[in-house]
Structure 1
């Protein structure tokens, strides 16, 4: 499968939150010129031993979601699949051949629910492509609920992982026609004696460094309006505050200083745990 035909994959479980995730996934597929694949996981390993008609009922979950998506976007190419196995395992495996995986989160759910936080965290940590986790996704299950058009916030600390996130954020902002706000959190170094740090000067230096790091991306996406935010504080609270009214927050799976064997950094995990808006994790193989 060529890279430009890799589908957007969305996981469903028959809930309103799953349908809201389909809404976002279909929108992503249309804007980026990708097919959409709607996937349902049965939640049980090995051969499925229930009668065949019950398997058909399970696959109806994906088929019903596809019917809704075709109503929203009649020209979109959509396929469906139903798999044995846990939702996290199924979606991680599906991500090997995807351009994006989308799941909804409603913060609650039963034992079989696809949309519990642990599945989103596993997918964000182990997927082979970017992952969009749509918090409180049931908000967009109804066809009359328009998707938001606020600015996109991206956390950028200058690391390779966050550089990939910036590329994704610029692409999202360009296809949506919205502003991109790049955020860098900073803290002054502790001093044992002497005068305190000039905080205004430090903030200006961080902002200048952020602007320089963004120059190649701004040259690639000259039509995207860009805001720069150098904010004093620790990264996770800063990003949550800056993204409180955003369309989405875009992050790398881990930031500067992250270890190769650490799949999900503490900042990214904190934002995922506490954000109320969609979070796009710039995961890749």
Structure 2
């Protein structure tokens, strides 16, 4: 089907050139993008970047019993990421692709529990540094009920592509955004929560919000997604989300971090010292 045959040649680059952002998800499910060392993924992102649009990438966990699970995703991503501005994997996805040995160890130790609780904060920070060294400008690592780890480099290149991010606020930041409280009686569906978080984050970036507001939009969209019967039904419109940001605050005490981070009462996020 489509996942087997889709390639870089199927992208309308003229349309990409008329856009501010090119977002691509799940090369881990698409045969052409992990074959032969990932050359097709690198080619597509390089061509998209050449149009002048910003680029973003999301993943899934490669199935260990499939050809994708046997591909060298570390090599594939290191080829593609110099052309990726915004990278938005989950903690499990980035470990499975960039640190598969650690992923296997942590998954084994967490057997019977939630793996996300066993992922060391320091490991995500180490991977964050490596990913920025690869060329990523904005990294959001989704971490379920632990919130999200966010790290940025210089965002001037994004602003040159049509974004209007407050440079001093966005550039060279490192923080954790705590998850918002969940009303379990309202939960209907968990399909697409990660995608909703990514959409909230990218929409906030395109709107030119502060980095703290963008992180919280991601957390709100991911949480609100759970309240709908499908992937979209629980989500408010943009004005509704802005209202939620003003009226609701994530509980800082629910996120256990080392002394390398300190909570900011004004913004509601944990900043690296």
TM-score, scaled to structure 2: 0.27
- The TM-score, its normalising length taken from structure 1, stands at 0.26
Q: Decide which structure has greater helix share.
A: 2
Q: Which is bigger in relative contact order (C-alpha 8 A, separation at least 6)?
A: 1
Greater C-alpha Rg: 1
